[in-house]
Amino acid sequence: MTCFADDIQRNLLDREAFTFRHQLMGHPALSLENLGRAIPALPSSQVFYSSGKLDRGDDFDRAHVDHTNGLSIEETIETIRTSNSYIMVRSPEADGSFQPLFRELVGDVEALIRDRRAGEKAHGAMLYLFIASPDSITPFHIDRYSTILMQFQGSKEVAVFPQWDDRVVPSDVREGFVAHAGVRPVWRPEAEGLGTTFRFAPGDALHIPFVAGHHVRNGPDDVSISMSIIFNTDETQSQTRAMVLNHKLRQGLRLRPHPVGTAPWRDAVKSGVWRTSARVAHALGRHG
């Protein structure tokens, strides 16, 4: 491993959240100087920023539209310490300064995936960069991918919830979200006790399993700088296909299929069914 330390719990990938240490502290790509140059140079479609004064129940995907901070990206970076802002950068590896780091991270992630026998490749691997004012909140959400989040500056509290627990996100909502059907899991305050809260500081990393709900609060003292690598494995791609099939069965045929995540063999069969039916539909020239 180049980027991750050896305390990583390889057998827990996409099964449970866990923390470990990363070895990227002091990396020149993550210096404030490089960030201040690289972020404004990226296409604006990759840079999202908003007021950091969000609530746990806000719609994270729309925060940059619903909660603008009224500043330019340059002003936001300049005043991040006091402006209660939140900057998210998609694919900073589009800038050359992140390229070697990105390749090394993909190498480490793929070693983890192989060790866990979850596949060979980190499909759709991509970096995300987060810079946030003290005390800012990332509302509750789930992601259609696995995440490894690394902290570089400031502290964070991340609460992660069991990925397949219907008390956190009901399976039909989870499946509708994964199927891009316009469904967003909403925060249920009564689920708070089901989560595990990880407090982490510079040098710490956290794994958030595929579709595991989470919300984040940045510490009160310092600007938080963190970066994540997101990816899918053969296994999570298979689970995605099974969830899309379940969603279609619920919507089209009004069936109540077994939720995904409870029996791997059943998920694999569903994944195969969905893949085959998608190929047949494609061959017949139908879409949908």
Closest approach, Cβ 147 to Fe ion, in A, equals 6
Smaller CB distance to Fe ion: residue 144 or 275?
144
Edge-to-edge strands, sheet with 137-141: 137-141, 214-218, 156-160, 196-200
Closest approach, Cβ 80 to Fe ion, in A, equals 20
Question: How far is it, in rounded angstroms, from Cα 178 to Cα 252?
Answer: 16
Smaller CB distance to Fe ion: residue 195 or 257?
195
Closest approach, Cβ 82 to Fe ion, in A, equals 25
Closest approach, Cβ 88 to Fe ion, in A, equals 10
Q: How many CB atoms lie within 10 A of CB 37?
A: 12
Smaller CB distance to Fe ion: residue 143 or 175?
143
Q: How many CB atoms lie within 10 A of CB 167?
A: 12
Smaller CB distance to Fe ion: residue 146 or 246?
146
If you search the block for the tokens 């759709």, which residue do you land on? 124
Smaller CB distance to Fe ion: residue 97 or 228?
228
Per-residue binding string, Fe ion, 228-267, x by CB under 5 A, is ----------------------------------------
Closest approach, Cβ 60 to Fe ion, in A, equals 8
Give the count of residues interacting with Fe ion (CB under 5 A).
1
Residue 149's DSSP bridge partners are 206, 228
In angstroms, the Cα distances linking 50 to 35, 85, 120, 157, 265 are 17, 6, 37, 20, 43
Smaller CB distance to Fe ion: residue 225 or 245?
225
Which of positions 15-34 make contact with Fe ion (CB under 5 A)?
A: none
Per-residue binding string, Fe ion, 185-224, x by CB under 5 A, is ----------------------------------------
Q: Does 93 bind Fe ion (CB under 5 A)?
A: no
Q: Rounded to the nearest 5°, which phi and psi values hold at 34? A: -70, -40
DSSP letter for each residue of 209-227: -TT--EEEEE-SSS-EEEE
Which of positions 50-79 make contact with Fe ion (CB under 5 A)?
A: none
What residue is closest to Fe ion based on CB?
143
Closest approach, Cβ 228 to Fe ion, in A, equals 8
Report yes or no: 13 and 112 within 8 Å, Cβ to Cβ.
yes
Smaller CB distance to Fe ion: residue 39 or 158?
158
Report yes or no: 108 and 5 within 8 Å, Cβ to Cβ.
no
Burial label for 218, CB within 10 Å (0-12, 13-18, 19+), is buried
Closest approach, Cβ 154 to Fe ion, in A, equals 17
Chain centroid to Cα 186, Å, comes to: 16
Q: What angle do CA 225, 105, 221 make, to 5 degrees?
A: 15
Smaller CB distance to Fe ion: residue 10 or 144?
144
Closest approach, Cβ 214 to Fe ion, in A, equals 6
Which of positions 131-150 make contact with Fe ion (CB under 5 A)?
A: 143
Q: What are the residues binding Fe ion (CB under 5 A)?
A: 143
